[in-house]
Every structure is written in C-alpha cells, then in structure tokens.
Structure 1
Amino acid sequence: MSVKNFIPTVWSARLLANLDKAFVYPNAVNRDYEGEISQFGDTVKINQMGNVTVSDFTGVLADPEELTSSQILLTIDQRKSFNFKVEDVDKAQSNVSLIDKGMTRASVAVADVLDQYLATFISQATIKVGTSAIPIAITISNAYDTLVDLGVALNKKNVSKTGRFVIVPPEFVGLLQKDPRFTLHPDVLVSGVSGVVANFEIRESNNVPVSAGKYSIMAGTTEAISFAGQVTEVEAYRPEKGFSDAIKGLYVYGCKVVQPDTMACLTATFA
C-alpha cells in the first residue's frame, strides 16, 4: 500500500520552511522558548527577575536584600490543522513540485492565521503614539517625521535601538516612497523589508489591525513578545471514501507579551 512509504519528517520540514518565508509578524517576536514545547496544552514558565536596590555607602553595608522574581506563563493554547488529498503518495514523494504546491498552500494559510493572531497583541503595548480618539493622520508630509517621533517615544523608555522594527500597511509605505528623504535610499527588499527610517526596519503587511479606518501599527523590538510553535502531527492516510491518499497535519502554538514596555502602538489614519 502506498501510504506505508510516506516519510513524515520530510513533510514537516517543508511546512516549517514555507511558513518562515511567509511570516511578517512572527519575525517580529522572539522564539526563545520554542524548543521547550511538544504538544497542545504545554506551558512554559518564564522567570523575570526583579530590580536590585542601590544605596549610599557609609562604610557599613546594609543587610543583603533578597532577589525577587515573577513568573510569566506562555501557554500553547492555539492549534490549526490542514488536510488535503494527493493522487498517490508514492508519486508525491518523488514529485517535489507536487509536494511543494500542496504544502505551500497549507503553509500560506497557516501563516496568514498566525500573522493576524500575533498582530492582535499590539493592544498590550505600553508606549502609545496617537489614540483611537485622536489618531495620527498620516500624509506625504508627515509620514517620515511620524516615524522619527515614534523612535523618540521608544528612546524615552530606554528601548534598545538594536533590532527595531515597525510594521506598517501598504498605504504608509506608499507615502514614504513619495518623500525624497526616504527615496534617497530605496532599498526595498523581496523579504518584505522596505528600507530603514529613524532606526526602524520597515516591514509591510496587509494584516495590520484596522478598525473604523484606524490602524494599530506595531513598533519595537523582538523582546516584547515570545512565541512558540510546533508541527506536532503529520500523517498520511487513506480516506474511506474515494481512491486518493491524503495528508493531514497539526500545528500548535502560543504567544505571550513578556515586555510590553519595549512595544509601541502608533494609531494612525490615512486619507
């Protein structure tokens, strides 16, 4: 029977590779704890150390203080599946093009769901530029300057200047491209990175959250959000009805805002 020749690890590897190519928001988070999960329902306990007090020295040391810590729980509470048919698994194994077509489509679908899921965590950002009541109206004349102001807001909170990003909708990128200060360095890349402004790596996404015409634009560093995902099941089987072999898989994941002070939300509108 052709199903017995199926190699699940090959398919798992292809799924992860394709997902990585499609990611936008997941590339703006850290995956420090991804290796510690294996199935749906797993919980990772993340320890966060408290501050150390510094006091004047008068010749005699005060009693040592006890270090404190708090725990943040990252729970793998999300799961998505895929399930599609192929004419014959033996032929699919030797036909890389056929495998890629099916797995790419599954990857794109899951990636889009993950993108939209991670984008919602912008609501937990501590740094605010503009509000829902008074959003920033982005125009050709102020798009560039707004990013500069956004950078200043992060600087005031001592957010690291290394690895800063901002995820904007296509409208924002279009306005920037009409500003000569931006077009002096037109290094638009296939990966979705559309240049650098005010130390922000600009990333374009169609999944920027929008409500009533008001966009919630995420900016900051990967320190803000921890994400963990894992392909836990990939299996070939013979559907009871029909004469095709089929492939099904399960992807589990979870996310947690661990340092909201390193994330900013720019609430903006476009004419």
Structure 2
Amino acid sequence: MSVANFKPEIWSALLLDALRNALVYAQPQLVNSDYEGEIQNFGQSVHITTIGDPAVSDYDPNIDLNYEEIETAGVDLIIDRKKFFAFKLDDVDKAQARVNPMTKMATNSAYKMRDAADSYVANLYTGVASSNTVGSTGAPVNTFTTPTDAYNKILIPLRTRLNRASAPSEGRYCVITPELEASLLQDDRFVRADASGTTEGLRNGYIGRAAGMDILMSNNAPNPTGDTQVIQAGYPGAITYADQILETEALRLPNTFADAVRGLHVYGAKLVRPTGIAVAFIDPA
C-alpha cells in the first residue's frame, strides 16, 4: 500500500480468523511419532527395521535345538514434503492498524501448513491391505436408508476387518465425514461426546464412541472419485509421522519499508502396517 493510497480509516483491534478444519489425521492419538527425534532436515530418511516372528516348535529333550536366522526387513520414512509461508506488512498499513496483525498472520500460516500435512496423512489410506477394505471406489456402499445403516454397514465391517488382521484394540479410531456423522446421530448405539461425561472431546474432531472405536469427524476425509468418500479406521501404530518447523524468521525487508515473516515446515509420513487400518468407500447420497 503506497502513501498515495493512504486512507485515514481506523482498523479494528479485533481480527477475524478464517474458518478452519479440525486437524485430525496427523494428531498424536491417530499416528505415532516414534522417529520424529531422528530427523533434522528436509530430504532425510529414517530406515525402520522390522523383525519377523520366530517359529514355535515342540520341545524334545533328545533332539538338538534348531536356531533360526533372524529375518529383518524395513521401510523408509522419507521427509520429502515441504511447505513455506512468507508475508509482509507495509509500514503505512501498520500505522493505520490498532493492533499489529503479524503474530496472528504467523499463527494462521502455521495452521495452513498443518492442515496440508493433515490432508497428506489422510491420503495414506491407498496403501491399506486389500483384505481390509469395505466397498471400492467403483462400488461404494451407498444404501443409507435407515438410521442403523452407518453403524451396521460401515463401523461393524471395519471393526471386523481390524479384528481379523489382529490389530490391537487399544486406541482404535474411526474418522468419518459430516454426512456419516449425521447418520450416526440417529442411532442410539452411538455415544456422543457431549453425553459421555469424558474429557475426550479435547481431541481434535472427537465426537463420540461406537463399535469399540473413538469416532472423529474431519473435512479432510479423502474424496477419490465423484461423490465417493473414504472412511478410515485403525490404531496409532499403523502410521508414523514426523515433522519439524526448520525455520521461522522475522526480518526487515531491504528494498521497502515493511516487516516480513517467513517459515518452513518439513514432514513425512508412512503407513508402516497396512493391516493396521481398514477403509470403507461410501457414497452417502
């Protein structure tokens, strides 16, 4: 804003925040951050070693023991995602404002970067084990004609697939869409967060419990084709996530009368246990 365009108006000291999605998929209750302390820079990778289960055999004191070779495999968690923000505030604009919005802008920018990471983690569902799916993109579950359909046709089958895969029952979750939430609210088996008497509502997106899972709602649920939505259930050990804010700098710009702030966020995530999540493809229409 130039001096020629200066307008003697008073800016409000109250700042209107943008509407925000709840950050759900990348929060600690849904993913693990076991390897976060091992990253420092963008482009690093962490090799995660996995060890197979040993065989268990009958013991015979007259036969020598047979020792197996330890079989190891691994996957790489690559820190290959990077986002930045950079904005400035001209001195003329700052002179008109009753409050300096730089801090609020930095907060909003950091949120937008976290929202991008949340969407990235949400789309890791594509690596799910084929045996852990309900419906498909070409044939989604789309018969929601009674209040019990969401529970019976989505939550129970997802729970069954996790059980069949021997996924731990502790910490199980299911992330649903607003449309599926509307169906669940009509089912008495769904225990709403506001009626449960617990403090779980402090978690981003948490709305209640059903079918032995914490139920969370997110607007970042993937929408792969047409009206098809992806509902994901699982436990925190299935996905690992690591991120770092490498740089956050405030600076005075050299070629204009303005302050600036910039920041750099790097992150990576990996579905390390494809049988640790289960996915349903639905068409709520």
TM-score (norm 1): 0.83
Separation in structure 1 between the aligned mates of residue 170 and residue 213 of structure 2, nearest angstrom: 9
- Out of 181, 203, 208, the position equivalent to 1:195 is 208
Measured after TM superposition, the shift of residue 184 of structure 1 is 7.2
Separation in structure 2 between the aligned mates of residue 36 and residue 218 of structure 1, nearest angstrom: 28
C-alpha contact 2:22 2:219 (8 A) present in aligned 1:
no
Counterparts in 2 of 1:118 and 1:55: CA distance versus 1, 3 Å: same
Partner of 1:265: 279
Partner of 1:80: 83
Aligned amino acid, residue 174 of structure 2: V
Greater Rg, structure 1 or structure 2? 2
C-alpha contact 1:224 1:262 (8 A) present in aligned 2:
yes
CA RMSD of aligned residues (A): 2.3
C-alpha contact 1:32 1:226 (8 A) present in aligned 2:
yes
Further displaced range: 131-140 or 194-203: 131-140
Partner of 1:53: 55
- SS of match in other structure, 1:25: coil
Structure 2 residue 120 is matched with structure 1 residue 117: yes
- Which string of whole-angstrom CA distances, capped at 9 and with x for unpartnered residues, describes residues 12-71 of structure 1? xxxxxxxxx952110221111001101101111111011201122222233211211112
Measured after TM superposition, the shift of residue 134 of structure 1 is 2.3
Measured after TM superposition, the shift of residue 103 of structure 1 is 2.2
- Out of 210, 213, 218, the position equivalent to 1:205 is 218
- SS of match in other structure, 1:223: helix
Partner of 2:11: none
- Which string of whole-angstrom CA distances, capped at 9 and with x for unpartnered residues, describes residues 127-153 of structure 1? 111122321125233112221222122
Separation in structure 1 between the aligned mates of residue 246 and residue 150 of structure 2, nearest angstrom: 43
How many pairs are equivalent?
246
Structure 2: unaligned runs, 5 residues or longer? 1-20
Partner of 1:233: 247
Partner of 1:5: none
Partner of 1:12: none
- Out of 145, 153, 157, the position equivalent to 1:149 is 157
Measured after TM superposition, the shift of residue 216 of structure 1 is 1.5
Partner of 1:251: 265
Counterparts in 2 of 1:202 and 1:267: CA distance versus 1, 3 Å: same
Counterparts in 2 of 1:46 and 1:96: CA distance versus 1, 3 Å: farther
Separation in structure 1 between the aligned mates of residue 263 and residue 278 of structure 2, nearest angstrom: 35
Measured after TM superposition, the shift of residue 169 of structure 1 is 0.8
- Which string of whole-angstrom CA distances, capped at 9 and with x for unpartnered residues, describes residues 221-262 of structure 1? 111111110011111222234211111111111111111111
Aligned amino acid, residue 143 of structure 1: A
Structure 1: unaligned runs, 5 residues or longer? 1-20
C-alpha contact 1:119 1:208 (8 A) present in aligned 2:
yes
- Which string of whole-angstrom CA distances, capped at 9 and with x for unpartnered residues, describes residues 54-99 of structure 1? 12222223321121111211111110001122467xx9xxx99845
Whose helix fraction is larger, Structure 1's or Structure 2's? 1
